[in-house]
Every structure is written in structure tokens, then in C-alpha cells.
Amino acid sequence: MRLAKPTDLGRDLVRFFEDYLPAQRGVSPHTIRSYRDALLLLLQFTARDSKRAIERLEIADLTPERIARFLSFLEAERKNGIATRNARLGAIHVFARFMASHHPELLGLLQRIIGLPFKHGAREAPIEYLERSEVEAVLNSIDRTTKRGRRDYALFALMFNTGARVQEVLDLRRRDVRLDAPCQVRLHGKGSRVRLCPIWPATARLLRNLMQESRSGEPEAADAFLFTNVHGRQLTRFGVRYLLRKYVVTASCVVTTLREKRIHPHSVRHSTAVALLKAGVDFATISQWLGHVSLNTTMRYARADLDLKRQALSQVFPEALAPPRGGHLLLDGRDLVGWLRRL
């Protein structure tokens, strides 16, 4: 069977992900994964739109008109928000600039791609998080009589405990877990930053049981990923999203408020942040706990929780906020506008 010859697009993709991003730009693995997801979605859309196999696509197939249709597809079909749409476009811009340096003959086409504008109007979406009763319902919906269920329970218990990003949890290896007092995990976050996060003794017991139950006879057991799938490979973010959605649907039969929420893996992180805030933990500690670069990122959780707003409201003078007393305002017929303003 004759092997297909790599296209210019295929060769550029390899150089982009294997050399340009990690070696020349020095971007983090999280950013590389984000760019990968964006370009994979674009290639899949282009293949369907052009009725060609992905491996046969050329650079010329990535026309500005097609990319504009792809961006519309993200919003209309995948229900992505403007912020996500702009993030995908940003990855495409970076890839187009990279290709422009290698294909001057296609500079006109690539400049038109780079010129595709970001969309304005992106609003900060309300933070979706779980209340304590909802967290308990999700965890209780997991069948812990099976090996896979015990893995899932340990996974989500650790996520609720640490408030870590889903990829930070999935990147955990056995050597990153300390099960003796003080129990803690070593998380590798954005920008290659490393932080230590304490875990409850109950969470440590779950992780100990998980590691004892998993395959440990490998020569490099300390380097083995903590959470793996049935094939022994690292669990993926998409797998975690699927599992969480499954357990939320089951839990919604018990706690009906879950039916009104759009819960995703990052909602678990939000839940931890709001729980810490309700417990009276200061913003600086929460910021360090979650691995935020800026304290402003942490401050948004104060705006998210209604109970905290009620608590703040109760601390001001209630009589200052009371509605005006009932009575009559005299209208003498001379100043109707002023009368209306005094109502």
C-alpha cells in the first residue's frame, strides 16, 4: 500500500507543536493543549466543509471565509460563548503567523486570516458552583462497590478538596502525593508554577486505597499517573466532563436544584472557592490555594455568592435601607414633574 505524502499543512502542524510552541516560545503544556483543541476543531470542520480527509488538507483550504464559518459554527452549534470563540481565534492567529514565516508565497492569504477580528461583547458569565448539599448528592451518586466507581469518588473528592483545575489533577503522579501527615499534593499549574495544597485525612485515605488497588508492579510506579482509564492511560479532561455530567444527572433526581445548573469540571473549582469564602478564609489565602496569579481573579467569588451578599446587607443599618413610610404627598397643580420625583 502506497503511503500518503505529508502535506505542507501537516508538516507545519508538527513543527508548530513539537518545536515552535515548546522550544521557541516556551509556552506551558496547558497552552499547547488549548491550541491543539482549537486547531483540531478547525481541521475537523474544514474536512467536513471541503469533503476531504484531514490528512489531505492543504494550507489553501484554510480560507478566511471558511474560518469565519467555523467561528459561527462554534457559537451556533457548539454553544460556545464569545470568550471561547475568541480564544479559538487567537490560537488560529498564532498558527497563521507561524505559517507566514515559512510560506511567503501564501502571505496574502495568511494575512487575511490574521486580520479576522475578535468579537466584542463578551460578558463575564455567572459563576456556576455547587452548594454543600449538591456536592454531597454528586458524591453519593457514585457506586463505590466497583473499582471504577472508587476511582471516580477519589477523583471528585480530591477536586472538591483542592479546588484544582481539572488538568492539574489529571497530571498528578504518585510521587506528587504525600499521604503521611501533613497530607498534601503537589500541583503543577499554569505557567509551570508548582504549589502544595493540603488535603483532608479522609481524602488521603481515598488516594491511598486507590494506589493500592491500581497496578503498582511497574518499574516506574512513582511516575505513574494517579488517575487512569480502563486501558491504564491517563484520564482525559473530556472523560472527566463525561463522568461529572453522568453523576450530576443521577444526583439531580435527589437534589432538584442541580437540574437548573450547567455544571462542568471547572464548576468544582468554583465550588471550593465559594466554600472557602463562606468559611471566612481570607482572599489572599484562597488566591494561593487556587493558584491565582492576581487577587482580582479571586475577588469575583465575592460577587458570585448570594449568601455573602445577604450577610453584607445585614451588617449595614437596616433603617437606612427601609422603604419610605406610607403617606400622601400634596399636589398643588404647579409642579407635576417635581411631585412625580418625590414619590
pLDDT tens string 30-44: 789 899 999 999 999
* pTM across the whole model: 0.65
In SS3 terms, 194-229 reads as: EEEEECCHHHHHHHHHHHHHCCCCCCCHHHCECCEC
pLDDT tens string 77-128: 998 888 899 999 999 999 999 999 999 999 999 999 999 999 987 666 677 8
Residue 216 has pLDDT above 60, yes or no: no
Query: Is-contact 35 20, C-beta < 8 A?
Result: no
pLDDT tens string 236-295: 988 999 999 999 999 999 999 999 898 999 999 999 988 888 888 877 888 877 887 777
- Which residues are annotated as catalytic? 165, 190, 266, 269, 292, 301
**What local confidence, expressed as pLDDT, does residue 221 receive?**
81
- Mean pLDDT (whole number) for 161-189: 92
- Spatial distance between the Cα atoms of 254 and 144, rounded to a whole number of angstroms: 18
**What local confidence, expressed as pLDDT, does residue 313 receive?**
42
pLDDT tens string 280-335: 887 788 887 788 777 767 767 766 655 554 554 454 444 444 444 545 555 455 55
What order do you get walking across the sheet with 184-188 strand by strand? 177-178, 184-188, 194-198
**What local confidence, expressed as pLDDT, does residue 1 receive?**
42
Element (H, E) at 188: strand 184-188
Percent of the chain having pLDDT more than 70?
82
Q: Which one-letter amino acid corresponds to residue 163?
A: G
Residue located via cell numbers 505559517: 99
